[in-house]
Structure 1
Amino acid sequence: MRLRPEIAALPPYRQGRPAPADGHKLSSNENPFEPLPSVVDAVAATAATINRYPDATALSLREKLAERFGASADEVIVGGGSVALLAAFIQAAAGPGDEVVYSWRSFEAYPGLVTVSGATSVQVPNRDDHGHDLDALADAITDRTRVVIVCSPNNPTGTIVTAAEFEAFMARVPADLLVLLDEAYVEFVFDETSVDGRGLVGRYPNLVILRTFSKAYGLAGLRVGYAVGPVPILDAARATIIPLSVTAASTAAALASLEPDAEEELLERVSAIADRRDRLRAALVEAGWPVPEAHGNFVWLPAGDRTDAVAEALWNAGVVARPFAGAGIRVSVGDEAANDVLIATLAPLAP
């Protein structure tokens, strides 16, 4: 078959192997808490109309989100998870001969999304503390650059970009260059110095903020994310995104999660996960692991050449994590029992 050679050579996204029946699946940054009953009920109520197409624009959800961001509904787009929106924005702005700049290591989907668009990735190494080097990112921008992606908190290293760093970065970026601020884990951030997209809406004509309901709101299985930004950029993404990719069940679940009582309980869960994360990191650092500051619902183990061996030790202990060969291991925060297993297994393996 006459396939695009760069696509034929592109490895498909693969989920981690399933955890043992009595083990812990900590490879996908999922929320360990079960769905709220009110959310389950909202999803169930949509079953009677599955013979009908959903609202293609998820208007009711866009209106709700627009209120929170001080924006109009036209300045919000909803998609099948934030990764689908990332793909739409990249395809809207970049093609063959163009470049997309981002830090590395960062979200593992970025290289594939750029390749599918026909553009070329420009990967800028993270700093020694595993965070974004925004000065180097700005230096990497050329006449061929069409998109720059900033991920905060960074997946998989967990580091944040501060508000001051981001403002200085945006001052160096050409006003006609699309900047995507990927905030998939922003609800887990409790550092007041961190960049927060809510305060940036309307400030920059080239900035789009992306968020998701998959992590903090526990809707990973329903695939619903959103972006907020200038209408012309969002309209371009609407032209590239797959139509009707957000189902009625996804919209209903997201709206139910934003109800005051439900959201209060969900954010209490986020606080509990962040507390477990901080205690896990502290224990690992005490054991000798150089774990960077963690601001998502995961921690990063910079295992280097020992990555595969450490991942196998975790597997033997009943833990499935996310190894990145030669670099390190991302471990999602699960329940308290999972923390105990992680600490007991990893402490003797500290570098």
Structure 2
Amino acid sequence: MTLPTRAGLDAVPAYRQGRSAPAGASKLSSNESPHPPLPAVLAAVHDRLGTINRYPDMSAAALRAQLAVRYEVDVDLVTVGAGSVELAAQLIHAVAGEGDEVMFAWRSFEAYPSLVRIAGATPVAVPLNAGHAHDLDAMLAAITPRTRAIFVCNPNNPTGTVVSAADLERFVAAVPQRILVVIDEAYVHFDRTDSYGAGIELFRRHPHVAVLHTFSKAYGLAGLRIGYAIAPREVAENQRKVAVPFGVTDLAQTAALASLDAEDELALRIDEVVEQRDRLHELLVDAGWPAVASQANFVWVPAGDRTAELETLLRDGGVITRAFPGEGVRISSGSVEDIDRVAAALVREEAIA
């Protein structure tokens, strides 16, 4: 006897985590922070370990209150989830279902099409432009009566490109207000352009904008899984209905609050990541690889047919990356030692050649 399975799930690939690294190698495949947790964050989490027999506050009231003050928004507009990916799923379920469409650029965050299909909606992927950035005109042209949401990943994963604040403003203003525009700013802390913070400002000025942030990247809490969204009231209410109960642990909430109190220290770490990102880009370009200038914590190399070659070259040099077969390689910005290892691998290639 064959057990029944849900129709359509054969079109949903399992999410592929960045490859782990063997001992002594650099894991630059998952866009994680190369820094260990701040001592203050570790201490705060340690102090809460004695209460893990209790359920967490499902509303994350303390964290939401602090975020509401920071962004000067009503606390009811702030929602939390197990990382921005879970919040993206909440937003999709909150506005779209069977027969609806959810649009995003492609290539962009790998989970978008799967999350849309899981919700029963139809993913609409609009190709990036020649500069590996969002083609906003093409996205506007792709809107149909069935479009319910549009995701703009800014900076974009995996290309690291950004939509300028002015272009994003024009785009949002042109999208009908019946459609939710989700500005996914998972990598915003690494952005050194005028698009930094554009999502929140657009949320203030437009009634159909939601913004996603995460503590996984700049804050270094990837292992605890926590992020937040700021969304229109009716959307936020629906998010709470579709969210997994108790999905954000007490330890994650505690670490997030401690991180918000330690942002001066975290800013120094972010500056280091940005410095090594720019160094990584320069090394790749000098070695003849078509690396794209990035505003995230990684660098994209659209190597095309040479993707496997670059992945192998770096792997042989002790660097584990994220390869997209036939398209390119995404290399996270790591520590100075990590990028030194990339440099050595590239020099080794020149020596062999």
Normalising by structure 1, report the TM-score. Answer: 0.96
Summarize the Cα distance change of 1:144–1:151 in structure 2 as closer, same or farther, 3 Å threshold.
Answer: same
Q: Distance in 1 between matches of 2:240 and 2:139?
A: 27
Q: Percent identity?
A: 51
SS in 2 for 1:16: coil
Equivalent residue letter for 1:217: Y
Structure 1 runs of 4+ aligned residues shifted over 4 Å read: none
Following superposition of structure 1 onto structure 2, how do residues 212-227 of structure 1 map, counting pairs within 5 Å?
212-227=214-229
- Please name the residue that 1:131 is paired with: 133
Deviations 1:292-326 (A, max 9, x none): 12001000011112212321222221111000111
Deviations 1:306-347 (A, max 9, x none): 212321222221111000111111110111122122123246
- Please name the residue that 2:114 is paired with: 112
Q: Distance in 2 between matches of 1:201 and 1:137?
A: 20
Normalising by structure 2, report the TM-score. Answer: 0.95
Following superposition of structure 1 onto structure 2, how do residues 151-162 of structure 1 map, counting pairs within 5 Å?
151-162=153-164
Deviations 1:247-274 (A, max 9, x none): 1101110000111xx2100111001110
Equivalent residue letter for 1:106: S
Equivalent residue letter for 1:130: H
Summarize the Cα distance change of 1:234–1:193 in structure 2 as closer, same or farther, 3 Å threshold.
Answer: closer
Is it true that 1:43 corresponds to 2:45 in the alignment?
Answer: yes
- Please name the residue that 1:169 is paired with: 171
* Equivalent residue for 1:22, pick from 21, 24, 30: 24
Query: 53-62 vs 306-315, which deviates more?
Result: 306-315
Summarize the Cα distance change of 1:346–1:111 in structure 2 as closer, same or farther, 3 Å threshold.
Answer: farther
Deviations 1:102-125 (A, max 9, x none): 100000010110110111111111
SS in 1 for 2:203: coil
- Please name the residue that 2:334 is paired with: 334
Deviations 1:141-197 (A, max 9, x none): 100111100000000000011111111101210111011100000000111255622
Quote the offset at 1:284 in angstroms: 1.6
Give unpaired runs (5+ residues) of structure 2: none
Equivalent residue letter for 2:269: R
Check conservation: 1:130, 1:159, Cα contact below 8 A: yes
Summarize the Cα distance change of 1:42–1:195 in structure 2 as closer, same or farther, 3 Å threshold.
Answer: closer
- Please name the residue that 2:85 is paired with: 83
Q: Distance in 1 between matches of 2:280 and 2:308?
A: 21
Q: Distance in 1 between matches of 2:179 and 2:194?
A: 28
Give unpaired runs (5+ residues) of structure 1: none
Equivalent residue letter for 1:18: S
Q: Distance in 2 between matches of 1:17 and 1:236?
A: 35
Q: Distance in 1 between matches of 2:233 and 2:195?
A: 28
Equivalent residue letter for 2:141: D
Following superposition of structure 1 onto structure 2, how do residues 337-348 of structure 1 map, counting pairs within 5 Å?
337-346=337-346, 348=349
Is it true that 1:96 corresponds to 2:98 in the alignment?
Answer: yes
- Please name the residue that 1:298 is paired with: 298
* Equivalent residue for 1:230, pick from 232, 239, 261: 232
Following superposition of structure 1 onto structure 2, how do residues 144-293 of structure 1 map, counting pairs within 5 Å?
144-194=146-196, 196-259=198-261, 262-293=262-293
Summarize the Cα distance change of 1:193–1:5 in structure 2 as closer, same or farther, 3 Å threshold.
Answer: closer
Check conservation: 2:60, 2:253, Cα contact below 8 A: yes
Equivalences, count: 347
RMSD over aligned Cα atoms: 1.3
Check conservation: 2:188, 2:197, Cα contact below 8 A: no
SS in 2 for 1:220: coil
Equivalent residue letter for 2:267: L
